[in-house]
Amino acid sequence: MRRFLSALIALGLIIILLEFLNLIPDFGNVDLSKRVSNSFINKSVDGNNETIEFKKSKDLEDGSANVVTSIVVNYRSFDTLGEVTVLFTAALGVGLILKGLRRKRFYREPNFILKTANGILLPLIFLFGAYIFIHGHLTPGGGFPGGTIIAAGILVLYLSNEKFELSHRAKILESGMGTVYVLFGLVGLILSGIFLRNFLPTGVIGELFSAGIVPLIYVAIGFKVGAELSNLISEFQKEGQQ
């Protein structure tokens, strides 16, 4: 009976949502010129009319070649600050909730292959993560995926080494990088009176040293997300211990 009723409700919801689909444009048939993102692509929010060319256009209002990054870290940077805060809240909350838990220890011998491969792969994993968030304004990726890759490296460390413990410095790194992000915003506020203003020159689009504060913020986010997710992993891992 319960299953039948839930199926009925779910079906009703599906029908209502399908009805809503008739009201929006078909898949793949979007008129971009009616959306604000058109200005994000052409970087013309402040009235630039020239066509943008890779490695040629310079001193644009926003210098990152990856348009998604330019939205995430520049046009809608405030959202990203909030997003970082949600992750921060969650990491803090997991720590608070799991505090004082009765801990058990599972004795398990890490796999030999995992142990050996870890020694070779771990530096590469960290390097790859760092590459991803340093090049966030040029290639797909950025601080969030980069940080996640670093945290995955930490997870491998936990799996391959039973005695591994995340240092308390990860918390300090997390807190420090969050502070750096807010301070970038406040520096913008002091220099130009606008919170989160990009106060550095944006350079030539497509170069590594371009886009002003965008790569700097993305590096901070990369470290922060890496430290946060590693902390989460360590909280959940500790759950199995005395």
Partner 1 sequence: MIYYISIILIGIGVYGLLSQKNLFKHLISLALIDTAINLFIVSTGYINGKEAPIYSEFTPIANFVDPLPQALVLTAIVIGVGVLALGAAMLIKIKEKYGTLNVEEIRRGDK
Partner 2 sequence: MISLMIAIPLLFAFVSIVFKGLAKYALPFIVLLNILILLIASTPVVENIGGWKAPFGISLVLDDASYYVVLVVNLIFLLLSLIPQIIDKGYDTIILLLLTSTNGLVLTGDLFNSFVFIEITAAAAYILAYHRNNPYGAFKYLIIGGISGSFYLLGTIFSYVGAGSLNMAHISNNSFGQLTAAIAILFILGLGVEAKLFPLAGWVPDVYASGSSLTPTILGTAITFAIMYLTGRIFITVLHGTFLDVLYILGLLTVIVGEVAALRQDKLLRALAYSSIAQAGLVVAAISLNNIDSLTGAYFHSMNDLTAKFILFPIATVVIKGFEKDRLAGFAFSVASFSLIGFPLFAGFRSKLLIISSAFSAGNYILPAVLFFASIVEAAYLLKWNIKLWFEKSDTSNNIPWNLKTIVLVLSILLLIIGIYPDLYLDASRKIAQSILDTQGYINSVLGGI
Contacts to partner 1 by CB under 8 A: 2-3, 5-7, 9-11, 13-14, 17-18, 21, 24, 27-30, 32, 35-37, 40-42, 51-56, 65-68, 71-72, 76, 79-80, 82-83, 86-87, 89-91, 93-94, 97-98, 101-102, 138-140, 142, 144, 205-206, 225, 232, 235-236, 239
Instruction: Give which of partner 1, partner 2, none residue 119 binds (C-beta under 5 to 8 Å, depending on kind).
Output: none
CA atoms within 13 A on the CB side of 23: 5
Nearer to partner 1 by Cβ, of 105 and 120: the residue is 105
Centroid of chain to Cα 83: 8
User: Residues in the chain, how many?
Assistant: 242
Contact 231, 154 (CB under 8 A): no
Q: How far apart are CA 145 and CA 133, in angstroms?
A: 7
Q: Helices 213-238 and 77-98, interaxial angle, to 10°?
A: 20
Q: Which is nearer to partner 1, 11 or 208 (CB)?
A: 11
What is the rounded distance in angstroms from the CA atom of residue 233 to the CA atom of residue 151?
8
Per partner kind, with CB cut-offs from 5 to 8 A, the member of partner 1, partner 2, none near residue 186 is: partner 2
Candidate list 64, 69, 77, 210; residue touching partner 2; CB under 8 A: 77
- Residue 146's contacts (CB-CB under 8 Å, 6 or more residues apart) are 129, 130, 131, 132, 133, 134, 136, 218, 222, 225, 226
- Cβ neighbours of residue 230 closer than 8 Å, sequence gap 6 or more: 150, 151, 154, 166, 170
Residue 137 binds partner 2, judged by CB under 8 A: no
Binding flags for partner 2, 97-136, as an x/- string (CB under 8 A): x-x-------------------------------------
Smallest gap from Cβ 118 to partner 1, in A, equals: 24
Any contact of residue 5 with partner 2 (CB under 8 A)?
no
Nearer to partner 1, 118 or 206 (CB): 206
Q: Is 91 exposed, middle or buried (0-12, 13-18, 19+ CB in 10 A)?
A: buried
Query: Using the rule CB under 8 A, is 15 a contact of partner 2?
Result: no
Judged by CB under 8 A, which stretch of 111-119, 121-129, 145-153, 170-178 contacts partner 2?
170-178
Which structure tokens are listed for 17?
């949502």
